[in-house]
Amino acid sequence: MARVRTGVRVMGAVLAAVLGASLVGCSSTGGKRAEERAKTAQAGRPAVNTPRWTFAMVTHAGDGDTFWDIVQKGAKDAAAKDNINFVYAHDDQAQQQAQFVQNAIDQKADGIIVSLAKPEALKDVIAKAVKAGIPVVTVNSGSAQSAEYGALTHIGQDEQIAGEAVGAELTKRGRKKAVCVLHEQGNVGHEQRCAGAKKAFGGTMENLYVEGTNMPSVQAAIQAKLQADPSVDSIVTLGAPFAPTAIKAKDAAGSKAEVDTFDLNASVARDLKSGALGFAVDQQPYLQGYEAIDLLWLNRYNADVLGGGRPVLTGPQIVTGAEAAELEEYIKRGTR
Amino acid sequence: MSAPALADERLAPTSLLRRLLGRPELGAVVGAAAVFVFFSFAADSFLRASSLSTVLYSASTIGIMAVPVALLMIGGEFDLSAGVMVTTSALLSSMFSYQMTANVWVGVLVSLLVTLAIGFFNGFMLTRTKLPSFIITLGTFLMLTGLNLGFTKLISGSVSTKTIADMEGFSSARALFASQWNVGSVTLKVTILWWLVLVAVATWILLRTRAGNWIFAVGGGADAARATGVPVVKTRIGLYMGVALCAWISGQHILFSFDVVQSGEGVGNEFLYIIAAVIGGCLMTGGYGSAIGSAVGAFIFGMTSNGIVYAQWNPDWFKFFLGAMLLLATLLNAWVRKRAEAK
């Protein structure tokens, strides 16, 4: 035992030494200091004096999803402005998601925002909320079912339409053979995006499934695909984090294919600016969160309903190198 | 006349064939050859040098972790936290450097210490509580998964880290953990080198050092080992710290290769490492196996997962093919081993 305790002490000493050294071993470029220099003051005070209503948001996001992070940020910003108590819960299992909606009903939330990735599983619980007089807004996925289930409005991007925008853009760019990289096998939205792209694309398009939780294997799989078929001249990834990896795979395979992607993040903006990426399709997740809260507030305050039973689309917006520079700072602060 | 020559059969010289059949990795080698031949015919582009380098890269990223996991399995234990520990290690380096605006190397060193501490924690808890490693490392797995998400979000305000590519020390760290060489059309990654070195070191430890004997003894039967003076506690803690060390190497590769780390990554990869070790001839019950076997197991995995893409099969069936190939390779491996033991 004594030996073990010595080990702990030695480790503690080394750790302390390294922490001390870190104060000396500073980086004069990048890092938090650079971020703080660039940061501007942000507002966060309510702009209205309506009662402090509670709005609950329940999504199908998995753990650690960058996309839903931005949705949440939009919702939080709107909640701060509208004097709303914002509650958030998420689970990628539909059953658990339904349970969270039920919890919101039990807590007598003043409004519920829900994403319908697996609509059937949430049908009953949404009906309960509507029956209890709680206004429901659906976001992101489920545009087809939203009105039928009794939601006020649907805010989001139609995946099929977004896919078609990609297909049309690829055709415009004179591409002949594309690969659609799906990082989650069995995700309906992903299938719809690729199907939409395939439909609107003049050339041929194939699907490639990769293991989204394992970046090296994503790279290897794309590399393998390009090596197997040198005639591929464009790669479309369905999530921003996979775009830089696709670029690496392309370079390693010695391919001349153009890489394009759905969604934005800082490295996508950087690669758009440098020309390593052709274009990105943004569905503006910040808007999905922000508008959902704002519309619920408008409904409570003024009985407003937007969309007239039709989905309110937040995308697709095609972003190229020309717009990337402007968007970069918004991406950095986490709102694009 | 002299005494009969065969006084003790244990001292009798064994034939090369028999010695070969007794090796734990033999089944895996046969399996790897079968998979290799299969994809050589099934996929036109599989045999190209550039394709094989892709396969090797894929294998090396699994293989680096399969080495310590194999050693741990020989020592009779599991580590379910190995997959997320890789992500933890990458997140630590990135976030520490970023938040402190420190030279990237400082973050890398802090990450090494913390990752080793996690390995130490696993081993220490295991030997102290006497709970099965399944429970201990499942607990660590869940805690790390939560910490990865929670800390990343708390500190950087989003679920992925910020870029540290513009910070001092990044290029030299990238050279060590994520560099590559172009030989003609072939790109060789530094992970392949790390992998080979780790396999060589682990093989040397297992077969040529006292620590190697301890690992086999602990895996074969801890109580008997303790009775003969083997430091069981030290060996187990050391094995878990070995897993942590390699998780750190893999984590740094991911960080410096992809620049930005997502906090949800790594979940599920622990099974790939265990699969590679098992295909490579490690027994699930401990006391038997080899580091070279784990490398062959990782190679089979790399060939299968990329071979399916080279063969351009309908991607809907990807996972099915992968599972079937792995199962077949393992069955073949078990069959060869049974034949070898029967001899």
What percent of chain B is modeled with pLDDT above 90? Answer: 57
Residue A86 parent element (H or E): strand A85-90
Q: Give me the residue from B124, B148, B162 closest to A4, CB to CB.
A: B124
pTM of the predicted structure, to 2 decimals: 0.80
Cβ of B102 within 8 Å of Cβ of A31? The answer is yes
Residue type, A262: F
Please name the residues in contact with A67: beta carbons below 8 A apart, sequence gap of 6 or more. Answer: A61, A239, A240, A263, A285
Element (H, E) at A179: strand A177-182
At A186 the pLDDT is: 72
Smallest Cα distance from A175 to chain B, Å? 20
What is the residue-wise DSSP string for A44-76?
A: -S-S--S---EEEEEE---TT-HHHHHHHHHHH
Q: What is the mean pLDDT of residues B171-188?
A: 88
* B54/A227 touch (CB, cutoff 8 Å), yes or no: yes
- The alpha carbon torsion through B198, B269, B272, B174 (nearest 10 deg) reads -30
Cα separation, B257 vs B255, in Å, equals 6
B91: pLDDT confidence band, cut at 50, 70 and 90?
Answer: very high
Beta bridge partners of A207: A180
Find which of A34-43, A77-86, B326-335 is predicted with most confidence, using mean pLDDT. Answer: A77-86
Spatial separation of the C-alpha atoms in residues B303 and B317, rounded to whole Å: 17
Region B231-251: mean pLDDT is 96
Of all residues in chain A, what percent carry a pLDDT higher than 90? 54
Nearest CA in chain A to B111: A15
pLDDT attached to residue A40: 45
For residue B7, the model assigns a pLDDT of 54
The one-letter amino acid code at B193 reads L
Closest residue in B to A253 (Cα) is B50
Q: Do A26 and B101 touch (CB under 8 A)?
A: yes
User: How close B262 comes to chain A (CA, Å)?
Assistant: 7
Interchain CB distance below 8 Å, B254 and A216: yes
Helices (H), strands (E): how many in chain B? 14, 2
β-pair partners for A271: none
CA-based nearest residue in chain B for residue A33? B101
pLDDT greater than 90 at residue A14: no
The interface pTM score, or ipTM, of the predicted complex is: 0.75
Question: How many beta carbons lie within 10 A of that of residue A302, not counting itself?
Answer: 8
At what angle are helices A321-332 and A266-274 packed, to 10 degrees?
150
Closest approach of chain A CAs to the CA of B125, in angstroms?
Answer: 12
- Which one, of A61, A49, A53, lies nearest residue A92 by Cα? A61
Closest CA–CA distance from residue B230 to any residue of chain A (Å): 15
- Nearest Cβ partner for A213 among B169, B265, B318: B265
Q: What is the pLDDT of residues A84-117, one digit of tens each?
A: 999 998 888 888 888 889 989 988 899 999 998 8
CA-based nearest residue in chain B for residue A185: B316
Q: Which of A18, A70, A223 sits opposite B54 (nearest CB)?
A: A223
Quote the Cα angle for B247-B253-A182, to 5°. 100
Report yes or no: A27 and B103 within 8 Å, Cβ to Cβ.
Answer: yes
Comparing CB atoms, the residue among B159, B168, B265 nearest residue A215 is B265
The answer to whether the beta carbons of residues B113 and A15 sit under 8 Å apart is: yes
Among residues A40, A21, A70, which one has the least CA distance to residue A240? A70
Other beta carbons less than 10 A from residue A259's beta carbon: 27
